[in-house]
Amino acid sequence: MTDNQRTAIVTGGSRGIGRAAAERLAEDGQAVVIAYAGNDAGAREAVEAAERGGGRAVAVRADVADEEAVTALFDTAEQRFGGVDVVVHAAGVMRLAPLAELDLADLDAVHRTNVRGTFVVGREAARRVRRGGAIINFSTSVTRLNIPAYAAYAASKAAVEAISPILAKELRGRDITVNAVAPGPTATSLFLDGKSEELVERFAAQNPMERIGTPEDIAEVVSFLAGPGRWVNGQTVYANGGVA
């Protein structure tokens, strides 16, 4: 590792937006620690993709809501690459149902990963990210769109939008930025699963670009916030092609 190489931890890095972000950061020259919940094959593929681009990467299985697992994740980053400069917390789960029909076990699962996980990862990041670093959490444009059946998911991501600017202020004086990225409809399994082609087309028509986003669109925003975007801090960046 070169003396000036930065190291990023990317949770949810075995698929979707997390994987695209990990691959993009590797292309940008960062060593990448890919954290994943259970998709062993996807994690291996993500590491291989990062390495094909000339990057250095390792995969670590970790439950983001488990403080011991997250501590071990950061330990691995420090042991393998010397420290942590960027944390991209992309891990998340979604359960959809009208509020009157929502199974409270699903609510608890969403809360555990999306809210508790953000606290656990953010707490460790606040303790360990080096000066000049960046913490990037993930929200969703659904917090603005008020789509039926998304109440549990949107509520959990609204919590992320509350946590991020507070942490930014708590890190005053350390030259560490904290932001949230809020994608709109994006071509990942999290969004596409269970939706008809007609429904996906309706979502695509909602923004003036007339398409749904790609994981690479969102990874580009992550790359900016993880690198040159030093004057963007405490913000939620809506990456959604212009949907209201």
pLDDT in tens, 147-189: 999 999 999 999 999 999 999 999 999 999 999 999 988 887 7
Domain ranges of the chain: 7-184+215-238
Instruction: Kindly tell me if the per-residue pLDDT of 2 is higher than 60.
Output: no
pLDDT-derived band at 90, boundaries 50, 70, 90:
very high
- The mean pLDDT value of the chain amounts to 94
pLDDT in tens, 196-240: 888 878 888 888 988 888 999 999 999 999 999 999 999 999 999
Q: Give the pLDDT confidence score for residue 68 in this predicted structure.
A: 98
Could you tell me the two tokens for 76?
A: 């691995």
Could you tell me the two tokens for 100?
A: 């009157």
Residues in the chain: 244
CATH 3.40.50.40 assigned to domain 7-184+215-238? The reply is no
Q: What is the 3-state secondary structure (H, E, C) of 71-117?
A: HHHHHHHHHHHCCEEEEEECCCCCCCCCHHHCCHHHHHHHHHHHHHH
**Would you please indicate which residues are annotated as catalytic (active-site) residues?**
153
Q: Which of 115, 123, 122, 119 is nearest to 136 (CA)?
A: 122
Q: Give the pLDDT confidence score for residue 1 in this predicted structure.
A: 45
Distance (Å, whole) CA 123 – CA 236: 19
